[in-house]
């Protein structure tokens, strides 16, 4: 019934990591990455994690071991004790098994930061490769991809998938019901959906802003052409590509 919380820093990126023990056995692990922090921000970052995480969990452990001292540990301990309906202690161990548990959390946090940096570098190289492949002036920061699907010719829908800095931004994903195009008319459906998306952006709808750096359309020359026509009709100049698939539904070419 013990949690070990650690704060680690790499450059200006920080990691708060929680290891949860029950009967001396590690049973859970939680990671939170933060940007724009300094070493002096450790108490605030740990306190913020505690204030956000445990109320959502609806529970607090008997003991929380900390890698850094907090500014007002007594106040936080009282709050967590109320949440627990029993005493919760906040400790800053210096030696022994408790310190080893904190050190393990610190080591895990440092590893998370190193892996995040490595992933960021690999993603950056991939975006640079895509920039060169497509002849873009800059790596595409925001990308939107569209696909039309239907069930045996009925219930046609379109999906909009968004990637920012090479990572999926799922909160911006959208699904459109096809309202005017006939089922099976993928060209008409793409015309309708992209037109609706662009009009919402031009009307200032923040849920459809910003516009992407590139559009990716599922399909070949035909799908890309009808999508491009929607951009041209509104005077919008954004690179647009059709993704041609092979027999295994893998992208084999960009049009």
Greatest extent of the chain over all pairs of C-alpha atoms, in Å? 71
In terms of C-beta density within 10 A (0-12 exposed, 13-18 middle, 19 or more buried), how is residue 115 classed?
exposed
pLDDT on residue 151: 65
Contact of 176 with 200, CB cutoff 8 Å: no
Contact of 139 with 125, CB cutoff 8 Å: no
Pairing mode of beta strands 240-245, 214-218: parallel
Residue pLDDT, tens place only, 143-159: 999 998 876 656 788 99
Residue pLDDT, tens place only, 72-105: 899 999 999 999 999 999 999 999 999 999 999 9
Give the alpha-carbon dihedral of 102, 107, 109, 113, to 10 degrees.
160
Give the alpha-carbon dihedral of 75, 80, 82, 85, to 10 degrees.
-150
Could you give the CA distance from residue 29 to residue 21 in angstroms, rounded to a whole number? 9
pTM higher than 0.75 for the full model? no
Residue 147: CB atoms within 10 Å: 18
Q: Per DSSP, what are the bridge partners of residue 147?
A: 159
Burial letters 57-96, b for 16+ CB under 10 A, else e: eeebbebbbbbbebeebeebbebbeeeeeeebebbebeee
pLDDT on residue 152: 60
pLDDT on residue 137: 94
pLDDT on residue 184: 72
Contact of 144 with 216, CB cutoff 8 Å: yes
Beta-carbon contacts of residue 211 (< 8 Å; ≥ 6 apart): 198, 201, 236, 238
Pairing mode of beta strands 89-91, 63-66: parallel
- CA-only gyration radius of the chain, Å: 25
Within 13 Å, how many C-alpha atoms sit on residue 155's CB side? 2
- Residues of the chain where predicted confidence (pLDDT) is lower than 70: 151-154
pLDDT on residue 183: 72
pLDDT on residue 76: 92
């Amino acid at each position: 019934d013990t949690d070990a919380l650690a704060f680690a820093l790499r450059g200006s990126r920080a990691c708060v990591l929680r290891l949860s023990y029950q009967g001396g056995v590690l049973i859970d692990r939680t990671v939170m990455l933060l940007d724009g922090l300094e070493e002096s921000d450790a108490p605030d970052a740990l306190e913020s994690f505690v204030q956000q995480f445990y109320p959502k969990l609806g529970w607090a452990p008997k003991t929380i071991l900390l890698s850094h001292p907090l500014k007002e540990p007594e106040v936080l301990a009282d709050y967590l004790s109320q949440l627990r309906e029993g005493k919760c202690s906040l400790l800053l161990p210096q030696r022994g098994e408790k310190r080893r548990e904190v050190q393990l959390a610190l080591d895990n946090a440092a590893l998370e930061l190193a892996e995040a940096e490595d992933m960021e570098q690999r993603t950056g190289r991939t975006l640079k490769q895509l920039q060169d492949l497509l002849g873009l002036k800059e790596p595409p920061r925001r990308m939107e991809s569209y696909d039309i699907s239907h069930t045996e010719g009925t219930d046609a829908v379109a999906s909009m998938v968004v990637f920012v800095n090479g990572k999926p931004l799922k909160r911006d994903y959208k699904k459109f019901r096809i309202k005017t195009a006939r089922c099976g008319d993928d060209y008409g459906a793409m015309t309708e959906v992209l037109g609706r998306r662009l009009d919402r952006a031009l009307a200032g709808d923040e849920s459809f802003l910003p516009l992407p750096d590139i559009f990716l359309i599922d399909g070949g020359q035909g799908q890309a052409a009808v999508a491009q026509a929607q951009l041209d009709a509104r005077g919008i100049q954004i690179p647009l590509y059709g993704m041609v698939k092979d027999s295994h539904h893998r992208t084999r070419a960009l049009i």
